[in-house]
């Protein structure tokens, strides 16, 4: 069993947007909602919906994606208003490192997408696959963000593909998890693996792979 779920809100799946439904499902299954991911390409209103979901389910962490480069209004709102919301609601709102996508080959698709911006935001979520995609060093990235890190999305990176099973790829996840444990990291570590690598159409196989992934984390995060 896992400690809980990391709920990704998605407009294509209306159940994920319904606080009452999710709260009832959590209560009936005994599975806690530990973190909530606001929808991608969110606006202020979408973050407010994530806050409602957190209050209803008891989740203490909301993860937001970096705004699109031209969405200055949303970027300014995140910078100015989120610190006040954190205090008022006693909820962590964390900015996640963004994918390495470019316009015209050289213009970053996302604003607020570097280590300095993540530090300025004060609460950070680290996606290990995106670190590898940018060819950055995961241990260096962790060291830079350690004081601000509240959540981790963990997966491996193989050749050019991210979100792999933890045992397949080039990232030193064993060292990373050991470092988290040694440093007394208090946040959650969520599996973020592409469903196709989990063989989701075969429930028995999927459960085996999920258990293997959890065991991998527990082995090194002692």
What digits encode the pLDDT tens for the residues 89-107?
A: 999 999 999 998 888 777 8
How far is residue 180 from each of residues 117, 135, 142, 218, measured CA to CA in Å? 22, 21, 9, 12
Helix (H), strand (E) at residue 45? helix 44-57
Q: Are residues 94 and 124 in contact, defined by beta-carbon separation less than 8 angstroms?
A: yes
Helix (H), strand (E) at residue 204? helix 203-220
Q: Residue 15: which of 54, 59, 53 has the closest Cα? A: 53
Q: Render pLDDT for 199-221 as a digit per residue (tens, 0 to 9).
A: 999 999 999 999 999 999 999 99
Q: Render pLDDT for 124-178 as a digit per residue (tens, 0 to 9).
A: 999 999 999 999 999 999 999 999 999 999 999 999 999 999 999 999 999 999 9
Q: Are residues 157 and 197 in contact, defined by beta-carbon separation less than 8 angstroms?
A: no
pLDDT value, residue 195: 97
**What is the length of the chain?**
222
pLDDT value, residue 57: 98
Domains of the chain are: 1-122 (3.20.20.150), 126-222 (no CATH)
E strand intervals along the chain? 4-8, 32-37, 61-65, 92-96, 102-103, 107-108, 124-127, 149-154, 156-158, 161-164, 188-191
pLDDT value, residue 90: 97
Taking the C-alpha atoms of residue 128 and residue 171, their distance in angstroms, rounded to an integer, is 8
Average pLDDT value for the chain: 97
Q: Render pLDDT for 20-50 as a digit per residue (tens, 0 to 9).
A: 999 999 999 999 999 999 999 999 999 999 9
Structure-block tokens of residue 39: 């929808």
pLDDT value, residue 103: 80
């Amino acid at each position: 069993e896992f400690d809980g779920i990391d709920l990704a809100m998605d407009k294509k799946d209306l159940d994920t947007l319904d606080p009452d439904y999710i709260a009832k499902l959590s209560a009936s299954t005994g599975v806690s909602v530990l973190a909530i991911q606001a929808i991608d390409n969110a606006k202020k209103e979408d973050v407010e919906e994530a806050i409602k979901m957190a209050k209803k389910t008891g989740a203490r962490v909301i993860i937001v994606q970096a705004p699109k480069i031209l969405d200055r209004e949303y970027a300014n709102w995140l910078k100015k208003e989120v610190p006040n919301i954190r205090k008022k609601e006693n909820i962590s709102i964390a900015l996640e490192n963004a994918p390495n996508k470019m316009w015209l080959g050289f213009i970053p698709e996302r604003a607020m997408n570097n280590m300095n911006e993540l530090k300025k935001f004060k609460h950070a979520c680290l996606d290990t696959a995106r670190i590898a995609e940018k060819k950055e060093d995961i241990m260096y990235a962790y060291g830079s963000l350690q004081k601000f890190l509240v959540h981790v999305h963990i997966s491996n990176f193989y050749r050019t593909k991210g979100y792999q099973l933890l045992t397949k790829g080039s990232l030193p996840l064993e060292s990373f998890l050991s470092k988290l444990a040694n440093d007394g990291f208090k946040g959650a570590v969520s599996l973020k693996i592409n469903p196709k690598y989990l063989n989701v159409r075969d429930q028995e196989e999927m459960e085996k792979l999920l258990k293997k992934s959890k065991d991998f984390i527990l082995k090194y995060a002692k």
